[in-house]
Amino acid sequence: MEKQNFYDLNFDQLKNFLTNKVEVDSSKAKMRAQQMFNAVYKKNIKNFDGLTTFSLELREKIKKLISLEKPKIVDVQKSKDGTIKFLLELKDKRNVETVLIPDKSQSRYTICLSVSVGCYLSCEFCATAQISKNLVRNLTPGEIICQIILSKNYIDDWSTQKKITNQVLMGEGSPFLNLDNVKVAIDNSKNKDGLEYGRTRITVSTVGVGIKKNDKDAIEWAAKELDVYLAWSLHSSIPKHRSEIMPINDKYSIDSLIPQLKKYYDQTKLPIFIEWICLEENMTDKHAKELVKIMKKVPSKLNLIEFNPLANKDFKPASQENIDKFSKTIQDNGFLSLFRRSRGRDINASCGSLANKKAIRNG
């Protein structure tokens, strides 16, 4: 019988597993689950022999039924600017990438997590889409959270003062297409006995796809169940142009998404981050004016992202002059606009560039 992977379970699921499969007394299951979470996510034990408060008999039983297996780091690239990119090998030998982006002090990082192998959404400016035109498979909850564990191991981030301070689910894949597994990973990230990240330290992105879940409104479900920042990969405020660079816009139009994003804000009271890659063609006055109209409808902040021309030669990056002008229009209308320089350009780790040539995706 295949062992249950520890990292695939959230706290309640582990509690149930301990009661039903390990036959822990139900009155003690919560305490045991807390001790296991603490040992794995805070003390970073490598195997269950580290559960020193458990009887030898219980430890042996847990070892037979639960594994702590993780993906492997098979390649590490370091950028001149301090960005670190990992290539991970999953159990089925497929690969995904994870990126650690340092702040100015080079002592704290934001981690960019992938949620699937490949992506079928075919955003034209995205390198992942250029090499992998389809979704190969979703990552398991454990494969998502272990990207953080492996990165913490690599930079020795196990003291109470975290080095990895923020998480963005903006790597390969679209989190709303893998919502159940993303939820378990976020549960364990937020759990006080888990990795213990605050709700404002985590950002989940969406292009707009996957907003229906089991015929329910996934946005409302996500607002309650994830309760973290939501980033909307908008990239163009003109529907015809957005469809050209993001074909998914034909199915999920800007107008149809606005009420959904408003619902997310109403539930969480967290502003929506609008993500905008700075291309020559989407930084026009018309784009800025249309974007202002959208921002008036959804409480939001604008994140302008420098485009890395290496990712796709067909697109040209916007000039700094146009970026400044665009940003000024947004700010003059009372909205926040932040410009983020591209990081890790020399190792293809910047936004929209995750497409390691060594990676096996289709297996």
| Residue from the set 97, 143, 172, 306 that interacts with ligand SF4 by CB under 6 A | 172
- Number of residues lying near ligand SF4 (CB under 6 A): 12
Q: What's the min distance (Å) between Cβ of 238 and ligand SF4?
A: 18
Residue where the block lists tokens 């990438």: 97
Q: Establish if 123 lies at the interface with ligand SF4 (CB under 6 A).
A: yes
Residue 231 makes contact with ligand SF4 by CB under 6 A:
no
Q: 169-203 in b/e burial notation, b at 16+ Cβ within 10 A?
A: bbbbbbbbbbbebbbbbbbbbbbebbbbbeeebbb
**Which listed range, 5-13, 99-107, 125-133, 342-350, lies at the site for ligand SF4 (CB under 6 A)?**
125-133
Neighbours of 161 (CB within 10 A): 8
Query: If binding is defined by CB under 6 A, does position 173 make contact with ligand SF4?
Result: yes
The nearest distance, CB 340 to ligand SF4, in angstroms, is: 15
CB of 353 to ligand SF4, least distance (A): 10
Which region, judged by CB under 6 A, interacts with ligand SF4, from 138-146, 171-179, 299-307, 316-324? 171-179
Is 300 buried (19+), middle (13-18) or exposed (0-12) by CB count in 10 A? buried
Interaction between residue 98 and ligand SF4 (CB under 6 A): no
Q: How far apart are the C-alpha atoms of 349 and 342, rounded to whole Å? A: 9
147 contributes a contact to ligand SF4 by CB under 6 A: no
What is the distance between the alpha carbons of residues 268 and 203, in angstroms, rounded to a whole number?
Answer: 13
Query: Pairing relation of β-strands 116-118 and 135-138?
Result: antiparallel
From 119, 146, 278, 351, the catalytic residue: 351
- Beta-bridge mates of residue 305: 277, 340
**Residue 261, interface with ligand SF4 (CB under 6 A)?**
no
What is the nearest approach in angstroms of ligand SF4 to the Cβ of residue 123? 3
Which of 128, 167, 203, 237 is the binder for ligand SF4 (CB under 6 A)? 128
Catalytic residue among 97, 143, 172, 306: 97
**Quick one: 58 or 211, whose CB is closer to ligand SF4?**
211
The catalytic residues are 97, 351
Interface residues with ligand SF4 (CB under 6 A) are 119, 121-123, 126, 128-129, 172-174, 207, 352
